[in-house]
Chains A and B, each alone.
Chain A
């Protein structure tokens, strides 16, 4: 799994590729929480277009990111969900909890 970071105006975009599982979900969690809690990014986009698989520890990392962003009044947005990622969020009853957009343009315009 790889995470690269871009910054546009007041938005930080994480482009994630590969599978998010128990072997690496802590890295996603650390990156997201650092950006929210230390960099105080007002809007964080997690681009999951290149992520084929997310396990329960990956979902837990996303939930932690969401909670941290809510606590600090920032926005935590998921974009480009694969069928598998969408399934796992639906299964967890979290699909409507997250702010989700098809692509970066829609998220930036929101």
Chain B
């Protein structure tokens, strides 16, 4: 668990941590970069939107191994990242990101998060926002597929 305070200057520190963690867990370098990008964008959103750039507000990050629940993919692990903040409730309709057809600045952060992660879940409980991000390690699922085929 990592507790930090809302400050754009801390983003690079967290990126360094997440990139090394994902590499240690065995993610390929491109996926390590995309997971790092997703966490960076999620933190930026908390600083910018949840806390409206107010410095010194608490953000808690939890990292733990994720395991798939489906039987045929048993043992397939990954990384689960939980981000907690105590900003105001977020309107779920604003949690979709935007389409990319139009060339314009802004709105890309959520798109990057969704592109990078297998699971993106937002919830709120007791005045706390929780963002759950999960990325599984990609492994061949031939056995699983062949069992279904047979």
Q: Taking the complex as formed, is B103 at the interface, i.e. its CB lies under 8 A from any CB of chain A?
A: yes
Which chain B positions have C-beta within 8 A of A35?
none
CB within 8 Å for A63 and B105 given contacts A55-B40, A92-B100, A93-B100: yes
CB-based contact B108/A92 at 8 Å: yes
Which chain B positions have C-beta within 8 A of A53?
15, 37, 40
Q: Which residue of A has the minimal Cβ distance to B11?
A: A21
Which size class do B's interface residues fall under? 20 to 34
- Number of CB contacts from chain A to chain B under 8 A: 67
**Bound complex: CA of A97 vs CA of B100, how far in Å?**
12
Which chain A positions have C-beta within 8 A of B112?
56, 88, 91
Which size class do A's interface residues fall under? 20 to 34
Which chain B positions have C-beta within 8 A of A91?
111-112, 115
Q: Which of A22, A59, A93 contacts B11 (CB 8 A)?
A: A22
Q: Which of A19, A21, A60, A84 contacts B33 (CB 8 A)?
A: A84
Residue among B8, B37, B100, B105 with the highest chain A CB neighbour number at 10 A: B105
The B1-57 residues at the A interface (CB cut-off 8 A) are 8-9, 11-12, 15, 30, 33-34, 37, 40-41, 44, 47-48
Q: Taking the complex as formed, is A41 at the interface, i.e. its CB lies under 8 A from any CB of chain B?
A: no
CB-based contact B11/A23 at 8 Å: yes
CB within 8 Å for A87 and B33 given contacts A22-B11, A23-B9, A93-B100: yes
**Bound complex: CA of A92 vs CA of B41, how far in Å?**
14
**Bound complex: CA of A84 vs CA of B35, how far in Å?**
12
Q: Which residue of B has the minimal Cβ distance to A23?
A: B8
- List chain A positions with a Cβ less than 8 A from chain B: 19, 21-24, 53, 55-57, 59-61, 63-64, 66-67, 83-84, 87-88, 91-94, 97
- List chain B positions with a Cβ less than 8 A from chain A: 8-9, 11-12, 15, 30, 33-34, 37, 40-41, 44, 47-48, 100, 103-109, 111-112, 115
Since A21-B40, A55-B11, A60-B105 are in contact, a sample of 10 more A-B pairs with Cβ atoms closer than 8 Å, ordered by chain A residue number, is A21-B44, A22-B47, A22-B48, A23-B11, A56-B111, A63-B105, A87-B34, A88-B37, A91-B112, A92-B111
